[in-house]
Amino acid sequence: MLIKCFGAAPQGIDAVIVTIEVHAVPGFEFTLVGLPDNAVKESHERIVAALTVNGYNKPRHTLTINMAPADIKKEGAAYDLPLAIGMLTAEEEVKTALLGQYLIMGELSLDGTLQPIQAVLPMALAARKAGFKGMILPEQNAREAAVVKGLEVYGMTHLLDVVRFLNGTQTFQPTLVDTAAEFAAHAFTSDLDFSDVRGQENVRRAMEVAAAGGHNMLMVGPPGAGKSMMAKRLPSILPPLNLEEALETTKIYSVSGLMARRKESDGMSSALIVQRPFRSPHHTVTDVALVGGGTNPHPGEISLAHHGVLFLDELPEYKRSALEVMRQPLEDRKICVTRTKMSVEYPASFMLVAAMNPCPCGHYGENNPAHPCTCTPAQIHRYMSRISGPLLDRIDIQCDIQAVPYSTLKDAQPGESSAVMRERVMRARKIQEQRFAEYNQTAKSPVHCNAQMTPKLVREYCLLDAQGDKLLSYAMDKMGLSARAYDRILKVARTIADLDNSTNILVKHISEAISYRSLDREDWI
């Protein structure tokens, strides 16, 4: 007897269909092939325990189970449920009529209870693409899979529920998710708002420009000036995710195993990532944890920040090797992880926001007799040189931030709200969307904001008049700017012009853009 049922295996942020073939002949042996890892091999013990606890006899046949395609490694305990169903079908405990219509995945407890699994959304998308009628999986994962339209998703709590469903002895209702309602309910629910910020008008302006054009940003200032506070509020002025962006972001969190934990924390309130991510890894983060990879590759922090913000506080404290591996993803908006037996690609289109002190003690340049700088010039130089010039080149906006005086802090008047700032940002993004609409129809890598413009697009949309060209030429010579910095000044100026609803880039726009390159000098090592 040959039985077939179907599961899926994650590959990057996608998934491929896995056919589980069970061949049964008289005997008492068990063989599992198809490149399973140790967790999959151990499934036999969990399955046998679950079957006996629920009243089934141990398998009475020699079972040879093949997991095809055999060249893809099968990892984890998510194959427990399809393997158990295949074994029960071989023992004639489950009917075969519905097996070919549903993709089945889930981890088994020893009592038959189903436990949540990872990478559910990519599996659901693969199931729909392959033409399956529906998907059977643990109840905790049902809402995540149900966002995929055209797929019947049944969330089960126990192995016996799956058996009853396949045998037609009990009726279950598919899980339904109203995606539009999810967006409406959770798009703008952050408690962090720019109205909490007192003063810092120059930094607020820089952040608005960064948000409007998707530009990377570096804040330099003393401890307690509000760098982290303002960075955490940046997502509140970014445009909301659209459905395509939300699905792609959710896929990353799903394969990372973060969706189930997220749902447990917020009471399963959302089946999608509907807010832009904000990731803030500690400065002790490893290279692999930051960019992704490992023996069995998983997304890193730069991919978890996809379509959102990656905040690196105390930038010089990060390992230099960790910072340098970000250079390529910052340009390409993706990271390719290659290992001996596999190669996967993770998206990494994120805004880099970094903060640092001007010196080791943090008080260099601060006009405060109570906190004089105690660092020597050599110490300051060594501290600053921890940030390489090529990395600094990739940061569009460099902003000085000063401590807020007491007179400003005690002012009870709230600052401008995030909602007001977000309206201006969204108007600028709308202009950019219209600007790049024709290009994106044929482009392999669509451009969504000014920071993503190619050199060709820069030459086309960042034209300067004679005065602007003269000013930029002077700045290039005076500050020793690189060719990459030249392009980034033009991109920032284009964003500032969009915020002003100006078709042309004016001198004032160029001047403001140049002011955001204060650290980009020839003597920066």
Quick one: 17 and 157 in the same domain? yes
Q: Is residue 481 in a domain?
A: yes
In a domain? residue 427 = no
For residue range 211-236, list pLDDT tens digits in order: 999 999 999 988 888 889 999 999 99
Q: Is 132 inside a domain boundary?
A: yes
pLDDT average, residue stretch 27-32:
81
CATH number of the domain that 48 lies in? 3.30.230.10
* pLDDT of res. 525: 38
323 within domain boundaries: yes
Q: Are residues 221 and 133 in the same domain?
A: no
Q: Are residues 157 and 196 in the same domain?
A: no
Statement to judge: residues 221 and 306 lie in one domain: yes
Measured at the alpha carbon of residue 450, what is the angle toward residues 457 and 474, in degrees to the nearest 5?
75
Whether residue 211 is found in the same domain as residue 115: no
Torsion sign (Cα): 185, 186, 192, 195: negative
Mean pLDDT of 14-18: 93
Instruction: Please count the structural domains in the chain.
Output: 3
pLDDT, tens digit (0-9, with 9 covering 90-100), for 331-346: 889 998 887 677 888 9
- CATH number of the domain where residue 338 is located: 3.40.50.300
- Claim to verify: residue 128 and residue 227 sit in the same structural domain: no
Report pLDDT digits (tens) over 265-315: 444 445 788 889 999 999 999 999 999 887 778 899 999 999 999 999 999
Q: What are phi and psi of 306, to 5 degrees?
A: -55, 130
Q: Determine the average pLDDT of the residues in 455-460.
A: 92
Q: Which residues contact 248 (CB under 8 A, 6 or more apart)?
A: 13, 306, 307, 347
Q: Could you count the other beta carbons within 10 Å of the beta carbon of residue 133?
A: 14
pLDDT above 70: residue 188: no
| Separation between Cα atoms, residue 81 and residue 104, nearest integer Å | 7
Pair 324, 238 in one domain: yes
**Which long-range CB contacts under 8 A does 312-315 form with residues at least 24 apart?**
312/280, 312/281, 312/283, 312/352, 312/353, 312/354, 312/355, 313/227, 313/228, 313/231, 313/280, 313/283, 313/354, 313/355, 314/283, 314/355, 314/356, 314/357, 315/218, 315/354, 315/355, 315/356, 315/386, 315/387
Is there a single domain that holds both residue 264 and residue 162?
A: no
Average pLDDT over residues 370-399: 86
pLDDT of res. 390: 84
Among 154-163, 195-204, 354-363, the range with the most confident prediction by mean pLDDT is: 154-163
326 assigned to some structural domain = yes
**Is the omega angle on the peptide bond into residue 10 within 30 degrees of 0, that is, cis?**
no
The confidence band for 416, taking pLDDT boundaries of 50, 70 and 90, is confident
| Helix, strand, coil shares, percent, the chain, to 5 | 45, 20, 40
More confident residue, 245 or 340: 245
What per-residue confidence (pLDDT) applies to 267? Answer: 40
The reply to whether 251 falls in a domain is yes
DSSP state of 346: E
My answer on whether 161 and 217 are in the same domain is no
Q: What is the pLDDT of residue 471?
A: 92
| 413-417, 445-449, 453-457: least confidently modelled range | 413-417
What is the chain's mean pLDDT, rounded? Answer: 88
AA identity, residue 473: S
Band of the pLDDT at 408, cuts 50, 70, 90?
A: low
At residue 198 the predicted structure's pLDDT band, cuts being 50, 70 and 90, is: confident
Provide the sign of the torsion angle of the four alpha carbons 2, 39, 136, 157, taken in this order. positive
Cα 108 from Cα 40, distance rounded (Å)? 12
- Whether residue 277 contacts residue 185, with contact meaning beta carbons closer than 8 Å, is answered with no
Angle between helices 243-255 and 179-186 (to 10 degrees): 90
Mean pLDDT of all residues in 120-139:
95
Residues 131 and 257 in one domain: no
Same structural domain, 242 and 145: no
Pairing of β 14-26 and β 2-11: antiparallel
- 3-state secondary structure string across 456-510: HHHHHHCCECHHHHHHHHHHHHHHCCCHHHHHHHHHHHHHHHHHCCCCCECHHHH
Last residue of a domain, one of 167, 202, 232: 167
How far is it, in rounded angstroms, from Cα 291 to Cα 286?
Answer: 9
Q: Which is nearest to 81 in space by CA: 12, 24, 166, 15? A: 166
**Domain presence at residue 315:** yes
Is 436 within the bounds of a domain?
Answer: no
Range of the domain at 457: 453-525
Mean pLDDT of 165-175: 94
CA 438 to chain centre: 27
Residues 112 and 242 in one domain: no
Q: Residue 36: which residues within 8 A CB-CB, separation 6 or more?
A: 67, 73, 74, 79
Match 């549903």 to its residue by tokens. 102
| Parallel/antiparallel/unpaired status of strands 134-138 and 152-156 | parallel
- CATH code (residue 511): 1.10.8
